[in-house]
């Protein structure tokens, strides 16, 4: 006996499931795309003293910003700090993720909590805690001084260094979690096979485990980079003038001096810079990624 | 290519005793299967040989070389895994080259050996493919090629056929065996599939609860099992309670009494008259005769009633009940109809019955 389907032709599975994207798409449209469109539009309007923006259209906010040495310095600093935070988080997070993925100890759940702990404390509270730790009379400097390692306090507050330290701390989970999922999904027999073929632990890691964990590495790196360059509270409270980032500068434009169109232009530039940086990163890793299933 | 010896391996894990005095001596070029249910210690034994587990005590020798403390990468082993464990980010050629590069084999020599081994596993022309572009059977053969291309001292196979479908599995059994004989490499094969162990091995090591239950050729293991556990694990078997009446000449032949019938059966030397034994009878060793027929040439007869008959094509499986209530299974020729309810005589030769102390 054969069974045949009757009735109207059915759309392919992937098309019928398209409606599942709808709620997320609506959310994205309302709270992401529309605000961006409005920011981008505003960045092209003339400045005005009477309203948020004036009547005419102009690209002068862009040309001014992109020829201003100070703004370019802040953009460079923001990207550099973001890159540094990403690198540090990867270097610190990879061993943790590796350990968590390989360990069969019952203490691993405790380590999970430790990894997630930066996210369990409110942003502002955490940042003030870092102020206590990093200030000239703070925990770090007092310890170093009592050990006789330094004569004068290290300037950690109001510098990029403090911001990088604090951001690395809070964004560590964003590296560890994707990496952990990735490492756990790698068949442990694959590295055993490498060992059996004569590769040392190090060679096995470099030739097998590391390339196979590239997707997790990539996801973690992008997350941390994007979050770092758009972070506001941490650089605002810890960065001072020398550690000022684009998001702090943009808020100054918008809130302190009410230069909305110019601030909107800076925000758009920053979004473009982030997009370019992420695209470059993806292109750089594409060759290695293509080999992966 | 070398001989291999395990000398009283013991492995403790916490309070658990996972391996108990496991000793195996393998000749060069021998194919030995470690057979047993899951948790019997066969995989742990293999991992000790590979170096991924460290035995708590005992020695592992490759030829004269004591490798007990050596790292896996220093042991010169070829290993094939249940999951194949191919490097997913490398082509077939790169997978094969991995071990050769680690051994600093020059490129032209690498290519020569790669081509030779791909010929052996019938995968010429697949060098540029990624593992994900291959079928399960092809991946399996790449895994085999990768283990053999480095010309290791011993070949270790950890349930390599468990993930293949039945037809392919049958084919690969002979393929692996034939390849192993052609290369002449000493091989250890871990499996829980007794049919696989039977057709492939020179010798089978039956393991149970961390200890070796029996070592022997497939025929010995099947026909002369050392214990009821081994008998129960290898194939199907009938057991009848019996008592030794007399020793019938040398060479381990006995007369036993099972219910009303006096039977002649083979058994290990040294069973004392009067001792309780189990008589082991394989279903295919049983012949169904008319109830009034005389047993052929020194054979045995047991009367039994056919309780059920299951047609299986090549054979009919009969479930029989003796008057004493024992249930027996017999496989008889499928072409001959046998009706349930009938009483028949079950005939078997003394050499086909095996006695084990109860």
Residues in B touching A202 (Cβ below 8 Å) = none
Asked whether the beta carbons of residue B72 and residue A195 sit closer than 8 angstroms, the reply is yes
Position A123 scores a pLDDT of: 87
What pLDDT band is residue A190 in, cutting at 50, 70 and 90? very high
The answer to whether the beta carbons of residues B289 and B345 sit under 8 Å apart is yes
Q: How many helices (H) does chain B have, and how many strands (E)?
A: 8, 20
Residue B77 has pLDDT above 60, yes or no: yes
What pLDDT band is residue B1 in, cutting at 50, 70 and 90? low
B70-93 mean pLDDT = 95
Residue A183 has pLDDT above 70, yes or no: yes
Q: In whole angstroms, what is the distance from residue B317 CA to residue B310 CA?
A: 5
Do B115 and B189 reside in the same domain of the chain?
Answer: yes
Position B248 scores a pLDDT of: 83
Position A10 scores a pLDDT of: 59
Beta bridge partners of B239: B280
Mean of all residue pLDDT scores within chain B: 91
The CA angle A131-A135-A139, to the nearest 5 degrees, is: 90
Residues in B touching A207 (Cβ below 8 Å) = 98
Do B97 and B180 reside in the same domain of the chain?
Answer: yes
Q: Which of B223, B229, B228 is nearest to B252 (CA)?
A: B223
Q: CA nearest B80 in A: which residue?
A: A193
Q: In whole angstroms, what is the distance from residue A167 CA to residue B73 CA?
A: 41
The answer to whether the beta carbons of residues B80 and B155 sit under 8 Å apart is yes
The first and second tokens of residue B102, run together, are: 């680690």
Q: What number of residues does chain B have?
A: 358
Q: Residue A192 is nearest to which of B85, B88, B130, comparing CB atoms?
A: B85
Asked whether the beta carbons of residue B73 and residue A200 sit closer than 8 angstroms, the reply is yes
What burial class does residue A110 get, using C-beta atoms within 10 Å of its C-beta: 0-12 exposed, 13-18 middle, 19+ buried?
A: exposed
pLDDT digits (tens, 9 = 90+) for A94-149: 999 999 998 888 888 888 888 888 888 888 899 999 999 998 888 888 999 999 88
A35-63 mean pLDDT = 89
Do B40 and B68 reside in the same domain of the chain?
Answer: yes
Asked whether the beta carbons of residue A197 and residue B102 sit closer than 8 angstroms, the reply is yes
Do B272 and B133 reside in the same domain of the chain?
Answer: no
Do B135 and B244 reside in the same domain of the chain?
Answer: no
Q: In whole angstroms, what is the distance from residue A235 CA to residue A163 CA?
A: 6
Residue B269's CATH number: 2.40.50.140
Beta bridge partners of B353: B281
Do B101 and B225 reside in the same domain of the chain?
Answer: yes
Q: Which of B15, B18, B81, B73 is nearest to B45 (CA)?
A: B18
Q: In whole angstroms, what is the distance from residue A108 CA to residue A92 CA?
A: 17
CA distances B282 to B37, B239, B287, B293, B353, Å, are: 21, 9, 11, 22, 8
Structural domains of chain B, count: 2
Ramachandran category for residue A4: left, alpha or beta (phi over 0 → left; psi -120 to 50 → alpha): beta
Q: In whole angstroms, what is the distance from residue A219 CA to residue A178 CA?
A: 7
CA within 13 Å, CB half, A126: 18
What burial class does residue B253 get, using C-beta atoms within 10 Å of its C-beta: 0-12 exposed, 13-18 middle, 19+ buried?
A: middle
The answer to whether the beta carbons of residues B82 and A189 sit under 8 Å apart is yes
Separation in Å, CA of B197 to nearest CA in chain A? 23
Do B215 and B274 reside in the same domain of the chain?
Answer: no
Q: CA nearest A291 in B: which residue?
A: B89
Residue B159 has pLDDT above 90, yes or no: yes
Q: Residue A291 is nearest to which of B75, B83, B89, comparing CB atoms?
A: B89
Q: In whole angstroms, what is the distance from residue B36 CA to residue B341 CA?
A: 38
Q: What is the CA radius of gyration of chain B?
A: 25
Residue B20 has pLDDT above 60, yes or no: yes
The DSSP line for B37-65 is STTSSHHHHHHHHHTSS--SEEEEEETTE
Q: Residue A197 is nearest to which of B83, B99, B130, comparing CB atoms?
A: B99
Q: In whole angstroms, what is the distance from residue B261 CA to residue B275 CA?
A: 17
- CA dihedral for A20, A23, A26, A27, sign (positive or negative): negative
What pLDDT band is residue B149 in, cutting at 50, 70 and 90? very high
Q: Write a three-state SS string for B212-271.
A: EEEEECHHHHHHCCCCHHHHHHCCCCEEEEEEEEEECCCCCEEEEEECCEEEEEECCCCC
Residues in B touching A291 (Cβ below 8 Å) = 89-90, 130
Residues in B touching A198 (Cβ below 8 Å) = 73, 76, 99, 102-103, 150
The first and second tokens of residue A221, run together, are: 């790196």
Q: Residue B85 is nearest to which of A189, A211, A288, comparing CB atoms?
A: A189
Do B204 and B263 reside in the same domain of the chain?
Answer: no
pLDDT digits (tens, 9 = 90+) for A253-290: 998 888 999 999 999 999 999 999 999 999 998 888 88
Q: CA nearest B91 in A: which residue?
A: A291
What burial class does residue A166 get, using C-beta atoms within 10 Å of its C-beta: 0-12 exposed, 13-18 middle, 19+ buried?
A: buried
- Pairing state between β B343-348 and B300-311: antiparallel
Buried b / exposed e along A45-75 (16+ C-beta atoms within 10 A): bebeeeeebeeeebeebbeebeeeeebeebb
The answer to whether the beta carbons of residues B59 and B44 sit under 8 Å apart is no
Q: Is A202 on the interface with B (CB under 8 A)?
A: no
Give the residue, A268 or A10, on which the prediction is more confident. A268
The answer to whether the beta carbons of residues B152 and B2 sit under 8 Å apart is no
Do B113 and B260 reside in the same domain of the chain?
Answer: no
Q: Residue A193 is nearest to which of B75, B81, B89, comparing CB atoms?
A: B81
Position A86 scores a pLDDT of: 97
| Domain end (from B232, B249, B280) | B232
Query: Among A118-127, A189-198, A206-215, B296-305, whose mean pLDDT is lowest?
Result: B296-305
The ipTM, to two decimals, is 0.85
Beta bridge partners of B189: B33, B157
Position B338 scores a pLDDT of: 76
pLDDT digits (tens, 9 = 90+) for A193-208: 999 999 999 999 999 9
Query: Scanning the structure block, which residue is given the tokens 């590796």?
Result: A98
Which of B85, B94, B154, B160 best probes binding to A when mutated, by most A CB atoms within 10 angstroms? B85
Do B150 and B173 reside in the same domain of the chain?
Answer: yes
Alpha-carbon B252 to chain mean position: 25
With a CB cutoff of 8 Å and minimum separation 6, the contacts of A230 are: A247, A270, A274
| Domain end (from B232, B256, B283) | B232
| Domain end (from B175, B208, B232) | B232
Q: CA nearest A212 in B: which residue?
A: B89
Residue B63's CATH number: 3.40.50.300
pLDDT digits (tens, 9 = 90+) for B199-221: 999 999 999 999 999 999 999 99
Do B159 and B72 reside in the same domain of the chain?
Answer: yes
Position A4 scores a pLDDT of: 46
Q: Residue B83 is nearest to which of A187, A195, A200, comparing CB atoms?
A: A187
- Lay out the sheet containing B203-208: strands in order across: B77-80, B154-158, B186-191, B31-35, B203-208, B211-216
- Pairing state between β B253-258 and B238-247: antiparallel
List the domain range (segments joined by +) for residue B271: 236-357
B101-128 mean pLDDT = 94
Q: What is the CATH number of domain A65-290?
A: 1.10.3720.10
B237-246 mean pLDDT = 90
Q: In whole angstroms, what is the distance from residue A126 CA to residue A124 CA?
A: 5
Q: Where are the domains of chain A?
A: 65-290
With a CB cutoff of 8 Å and minimum separation 6, the contacts of A225 are: A82, A83, A85, A86, A274, A277, A278, A281
């Amino acid at each position: 006996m054969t069974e045949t389907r009757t009735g109207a032709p059915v759309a392919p599975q992937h098309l019928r499931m398209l409606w599942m994207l709808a709620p997320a798409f609506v959310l994205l449209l309302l709270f992401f795309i529309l605000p961006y469109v409005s920011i981008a539009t505003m960045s092209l309007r003339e400045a005005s003293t009477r309203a948020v923006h004036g009547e005419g259209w102009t690209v002068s906010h862009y040309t001014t910003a992109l020829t201003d040495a100070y703004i370019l310095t802040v953009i460079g600093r923001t990207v550099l700090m973001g890159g540094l935070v990403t690198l540090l988080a990867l270097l610190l997070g990879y061993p943790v993720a590796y350990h968590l993925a390989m360990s069969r100890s019952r203490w691993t759940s405790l380590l999970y909590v430790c990894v997630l702990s930066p996210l369990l404390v409110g942003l502002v509270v955490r940042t003030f805690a870092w102020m206590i730790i990093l200030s000239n009379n703070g925990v770090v400097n007092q310890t170093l001084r009592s050990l006789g390692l330094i004569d004068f306090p290290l300037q950690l507050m109001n510098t990029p260094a403090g911001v990088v330290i604090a951001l690395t701390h809070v964004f560590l989970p964003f590296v560890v979690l994707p990496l952990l999922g990735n490492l756990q999904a790698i068949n442990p027999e694959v590295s055993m096979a490498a060992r059996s073929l004569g590769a040392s632990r190090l060679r096995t890691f470099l030739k097998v485990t590391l390339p196979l964990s590239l997707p997790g590495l990539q996801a973690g790196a992008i997350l941390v980079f994007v979050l770092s360059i758009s972070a506001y509270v941490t650089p605002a409270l810890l960065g001072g003038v020398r550690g000022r980032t684009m998001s702090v500068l943009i808020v100054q434009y918008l809130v302190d001096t009410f230069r909305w169109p110019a601030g909107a232009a800076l925000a758009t530039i920053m979004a473009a810079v982030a997009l370019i940086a992420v695209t470059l990163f993806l292109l750089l890793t594409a060759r290695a990624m293509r080999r992966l299933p | 290519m070398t001989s291999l010896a395990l000398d009283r391996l013991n492995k403790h894990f916490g309070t658990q005793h996972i391996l108990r005095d496991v000793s195996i001596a393998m000749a060069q070029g021998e194919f030995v299967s470690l057979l047993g249910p899951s948790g019997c210690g066969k995989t742990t034994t293999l991992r000790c040989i590979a170096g991924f587990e460290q035995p708590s005590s005992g020695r592992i020798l490759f030829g004269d070389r004591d490798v007990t403390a050596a790292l896996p990468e220093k042991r010169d082993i070829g290993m094939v895994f249940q999951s194949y464990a191919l490097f997913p980010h490398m082509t077939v050629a790169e997978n094969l080259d991995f071990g050769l590069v680690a051994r600093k084999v020059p490129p032209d020599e690498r290519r020569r050996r790669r081509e030779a081994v791909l010929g052996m596993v019938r995968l010429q022309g697949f060098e540029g493919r990624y593992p994900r572009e291959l079928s399960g059977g092809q991946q399996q053969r790449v895994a085999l090629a990768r283990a053999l291309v480095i010309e290791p001292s011993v070949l270790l196979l950890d349930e390599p056929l468990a993930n293949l479908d039945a037809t392919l599995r049958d084919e690969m059994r002979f393929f692996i065996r034939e390849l192993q004989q052609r290369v002449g490499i000493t091989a250890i094969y871990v499996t829980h599939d007794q049919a696989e162990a039977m057709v492939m091995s020179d010798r089978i090591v039956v393991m149970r609860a961390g200890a070796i239950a029996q070592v022997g050729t497939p025929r010995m293991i099947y026909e002369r099992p050392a214990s009821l556990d081994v008998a129960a694990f290898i194939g199907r078997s009938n057991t009848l309670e019996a008592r030794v009446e007399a020793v019938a000449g040398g060479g381990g032949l006995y007369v036993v009494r099972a219910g009303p019938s006096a039977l002649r059966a083979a058994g290990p030397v040294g069973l004392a008259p009067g001792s309780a034994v189990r008589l082991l009878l394989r279903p295919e060793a049983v012949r169904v005769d008319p109830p009034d027929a005389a047993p052929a040439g020194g054979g045995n007869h047991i009367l039994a009633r056919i309780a059920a008959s299951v047609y299986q094509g090549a054979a009919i499986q009969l479930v029989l009940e003796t008057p004493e209530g024992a249930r027996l299974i017999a496989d008889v020729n499928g072409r001959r109809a046998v009706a349930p309810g009938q009483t028949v005589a079950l005939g078997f030769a003394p050499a086909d019955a095996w006695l084990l102390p109860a």
